[in-house]
Amino acid sequence: MDFSNCWLDYRPMEIKEQALSALSVLCEGEIIESAVKEYQLALSRMTGREPEVFREKTNRCVALYLEPLLPIGKDGYEIKKEKDSYHITGQSESGVLYGVFHFLRLIRTGHMDELPVSNAPEMPLRMMNHWDNMDGTIERGYSGNSFFYENYEILYNERIEQYVRLMASIGINAIVINNVNVHQRETYLITDTYLEQVKQYAALFARYGIQLFTSVNFAAPMELSGFDNCDPLNDKVAQWWKDAVKHIYEVIPEFGGFLVKADSEGRPGPFTYDRTHADGANMLAKALAPYGGIVVWRCFVYNCGQDWRDKKTDRARAAYDNFIALDGQFEDNVILQIKNGPMDFQVREPVSPLFGGLKKTNMILEVEIAQEYTGQQIDLCYLLPMWREILDFDTFSEGEGSTVRQIVKGAQYGQNCCGMAAVINTGNDYNWTGNDLAAANTYGYGRMAMNPSLTSEAIAKEWIELTFGAAVADDLTKILMDSWPTYEKYTSPLGIGWMVTPHYHYGPDVDGYEYDRWGTYHRADRNGLGIDRTPAGTGYTAQYNEPWSAIYADRNLCPEELLLFFHYVRYDEVLKSGKTLIQHIYDTHFEGVEEVEEMIERFDGLQNKLPGDVYDRVRERMERQLENAIEWRDRINTYFYRKSGVPDEKGRKIYE
Handedness of CA 99, 404, 482, 457 (dihedral sign): negative
Among 344, 349, 379, 436, the active-site one is: 344
559: left (phi over 0), alpha (psi -120 to 50) or beta: beta
CA-nearest of 280, 321, 332, 618 to 472 is 618
Angstrom CA distances, 549 to 279, 422, 535, 564, 568, stand at 31, 28, 10, 16, 17
Residue 574 — φ and ψ, nearest 5°?
A: -90, 130
Phi/psi at 419 (5° precision): 145, -145
8 A C-beta contact, residue 15 and residue 47? yes
In degrees rounded to 5, what are phi and psi of residue 497? 65, 180
> What CA–CA distance (Å, rounded) separates 329 from 416?
16
The DSSP bridge partners found for residue 126 are 420
Query: Residues 231, 372, 394, 532: which is the catalytic one?
Result: 372
How many helices (H) and strands (E) the chain has is answered by 18, 18
572 part of the active site:
no
| Residues near 612 by beta carbon (within 8 Å), at least 6 away in sequence | none
DSSP assignment of 495-564, as one string? G----B-TTT--SB-TTTTTTSSSS------SSEE----STTTT-GGGGSPTTHHHHHH-TTTS-GGGHH
Answer yes or no: 656 catalytic. no
Nearest to residue 229, comparing CAs of 174, 273, 194, 265?
A: 273
Return the number of other C-beta atoms located less than 10 Å from residue 47's C-beta. 17
Three-state DSSP state, 604: helix
Residues composing the chain: 656
Query: Is 265 known to be catalytic?
Result: yes
Q: Which of 265, 307, 572, 604 is catalytic?
A: 265
Give catalytic residues, as residue numbers.
Answer: 265, 344, 372
